Amino acid sequence: MSELTFVHSAYWISGLIAAVILLAIFVVKEWPRKSRNFVLRLAAGFVAILALLTIALKPAHLTSVDGKQGVLLTSGYQEAQLDSLRETNPELKELMYQDHIDRDELDSISQLFILGSGVKPYDFWQLEGKTVKLLKTEIPNGINQLSYSKTLTEGEELNITAYYSKPKPGNQIVLQAPGNLGLDSIQFKAAADTVFSLQAKVKAPGDFVYNLVEKDSFGRVLNNEALPVHISPEKQLSVVMLSAFPSFEFKYLKNYLAELNHQVLVRSQLTQNRFKYEYFNQERKPFNALSTSGLNHLDLLILDAGAWQSLSQNEQNSIKDAITQEGLGVFLMASEELFYGSQPLIDFKFTRTAQTEVELQDGTVVSTFGYYLNPATNFNATLKSGNQILAGQRFIGFGSVSTTVLSNTYALQLKGNQERYKSLWSEILKSVLKPESGEVFWEERDQILTPNEPYTIEFRTAVSEFILTDTDGNSIPVIQDPDIPELWSATFYPEDTGWFTLRFSAGDTISEYAYYVFTEADWKARAAQGLTKANQDFFRKGDAEVEELQVKRPINPIYFFVLFVLAMGYLWLEPKLRS
């Protein structure tokens, strides 16, 4: 089956307009001559212009072909899998992926297999419309999952949870501070996949590179993975906590925040219109925290659903304005009312589950309300267990609202695990804090960034006139989101490794964002795991039936060129013969 089409069919309208204009000019020039062969000359001119148009649009036959199976070999592919494919299809077309794809080589392939870790996400678009099947591959031995806070405050704990695939018994992992100072370590007892945790207290502010060093039983270094950490100077936060009724969860959380020397104001409702006030690390004063001036000085507002319902309409509106315009962070304490009643501020999409306990990455077991946040919704996950989101936030203007499905986390303290309780709540609350700069809020990126690969950073600002520059002072182009005016993004390609800084400048306002560029040798197993996961998510339809492959086979343009030459030859020769 063959069908006539054009290779450049997208330009047929502009080509037709150009042809009509040329024909009109030809008619205007020929009309005054009043030649007896006017009709023949007009026909010849029409044929010449039509031939030019045809050459430009490049006619082709749309032909159905059987196509071939092909295999794209990416990093980490296994020869055994490739040999198996060769046996089933001797005519298998093999393509090597080296951070780019030659689309011309894909034209005759109806089904494509991908071996190895997969293609880079920025090349996914080149495989759209193809029937692709990603074959299962083995992740290299090593740390392929890692969880830690990349931004800490002076004096906080650096808590690292990692998953090591197939360790060698006797080897150990050492957490080292800059200067090769050992802080914590763990030794593998068996060859089974292992989840381990390491801790250390950070002291001085600045941009540092800690290291996870793997050593064998003789102390020889096998792997050295960079662990960038940005440490901010210690800051006393202003926190207000509102509770409709006293609870142990609320009590332990306020004590934890007070122990960190933050200014904490607590209002607990006793009966209707009767409240209990508590002040930590500050003097007692009249309660005006929910006024416009009071909210402007807050870093975090913590409340439960009952407390929100007890607020006046003016107080609720003031809180909404402080979130959207001033960047206030609001954390909603989980309670039964949050899941069954009307939800404050935003509609959290909870999914019911029979599971009332969950195991975190480091093996800690905590209770839940029997829900988790739906991953299909537009939430920034701040705490996960596998694919389940246990805590998340959603941005509203310049601020955000966050919540969690965890319950009775204070039980960790009752069991003597105070440090895990502190690190858990630090992880949950850190992302929802009001940004240090009132003009710009940087959104964190969890990406293993390497040189010469695209890096996209998103930030929120109400300022329309600003300049974004890199460490060397070069200006970086930005794009404004068409649907969210305060959301901006910038994509650039770092060239070197190490710590670098983006600078946001608007008049007297300057805000900086530090990011780290890894070397190609860093985190091989983790990078392979992330790349495989991204490919699996994109190529989920890989098991679909192979569709009929149609290709455009261009017609040789020499035929239309000969026609053009004959028509132009007649127009040139006809007046000479007539004279």
522 found inside a domain: no
pLDDT given at position 542 = 46
pLDDT band, very low/low/confident/very high, at 546 (cuts 50, 70, 90):
very low
Q: Output the six-digit token pair for 419.
A: 């440090």
pLDDT digits (tens, 9 = 90+) for 343-380: 788 877 788 888 888 888 777 889 988 888 876 666 77
pLDDT-derived band at 59 (thresholds 50, 70, 90) equals confident
Q: Residue 172 pLDDT more than 90? A: yes
Domain carrying residue 389: 238-432
Assess whether 19 and 152 both reside in one domain: no
> Is 4 a residue whose pLDDT tops 80?
no
**Do residues 330 and 468 share a domain?**
no
The whole-angstrom distance between residue 145's C-alpha and the CA centroid of its chain comes to 17
Stretch 110-120: mean pLDDT = 86
Q: Identify the CATH number of the domain in which residue 79 sits.
A: 3.40.50
- Return the pLDDT at 579: 65
Same domain, 409 and 447: no
Pair 151, 192 in one domain: yes
Can you tell me the distance from the alpha carbon of 329 to that of 398, in angstroms, rounded to the nearest whole number?
9
- For 300-334, the three-class secondary structure string (H helix, E strand, C coil) is EEEEEHHHHHHCCHHHHHHHHHHHHHHCCEEEEEC
In one-letter notation, the amino acid at residue 427 is E
Q: 69 vs 436, which has greater pLDDT? A: 69
For the chain, the C-alpha Rg in angstroms (whole number) is 33
The pLDDT tens digits of the residues spanning 60-78 come to 876 654 557 888 888 888 8
The pLDDT value recorded for residue 63 is 62
pLDDT at 355: 85
pLDDT for the residue numbered 552: 65
Domain assignment present for 111: yes
Instruction: Give dist(CA 52, CA 346) in Å, integer.
Output: 60
Q: Note the pLDDT of residue 543.
A: 46
Is the per-residue pLDDT at 541 higher than 60? no
Tell the residue number behind the tokens 């998103």, with chain if given. Answer: 458
Residue 544 has a pLDDT of 45
pLDDT, mean over the chain: 84
Are 193 and 330 members of one domain?
A: no
- Taking residues 400-411, what's their average pLDDT? 90
User: Mean of the pLDDT values across residues 153-180?
Assistant: 88
State the Cα–Cα distance between residues 304 and 403, nearest whole angstrom: 10
**What is the C-alpha to C-alpha distance for residues 93 and 72, in angstroms, rounded to an integer?**
9
Q: What is the per-residue pLDDT for 212? A: 93
* Structure confidence by residue, pLDDT tens digits, 467-480: 999 888 889 999 99
| 160 in the same domain as 124 | no
CATH code assigned at 500: 2.60.40.10
* Judgement on whether residues 107 and 202 belong to the same structural domain of the protein: no
The pTM of the full predicted model, rounded to 2 decimals, is: 0.66
Model pLDDT for residues 231-265, shown as the tens digit of each residue: 888 888 899 999 987 788 989 999 999 998 899 99
Both 395 and 416 in one domain: the answer is yes
Instruction: Specify if 475 maps to a domain.
Output: yes
* 380 in the same domain as 303: yes
Adjacent-strand bridge partners of 418: none
Domain limit, last residue, from 432, 449, 481: 432
Determine the Cα–Cα distance for residues 96 and 74; give it in Å rounded to an integer: 7
pLDDT of residue 227: 93
* Structural domains counted in the chain: 5
Q: Measured between alpha carbons, how far is 294 from 322 in angstroms, rounded to an integer?
A: 10
**Secondary structure of residue 25 in the 3-state scheme:** helix
Q: Tell me the per-residue pLDDT of 194-211, one tens digit each, with 9 for 90 and over.
A: 888 898 888 888 899 999
Which of 24 and 64 is assigned the larger pLDDT? 24
How many percent of the chain have pLDDT more than 70? Answer: 95
Domain end residue (candidates: 432, 454, 473)? 432
Query: Residue 280 maps to which CATH number?
Result: 3.40.50.880
Please check whether residue 254 lies inside any domain of the structure. Answer: yes
SS3 content of the chain, % helix, strand, coil (to 5): 30, 35, 35
Confidence of residue 490 (pLDDT cuts 50, 70, 90): very high
H or E segment and range at residue 267: strand 263-271
Using pLDDT thresholds of 50, 70 and 90, give the confidence band for residue 577. confident
What letters, b where the CB count within 10 A reaches 16 and e where it falls short, cover 195-222? ebbbebebeeeeebebbbbbbeeeeeee
In a domain, 127, yes or no: yes
Which among 233, 259, 294 is the end of a domain? 233
Residues 308 and 456 in one domain: no
242 and 338 both lie in a single domain = yes
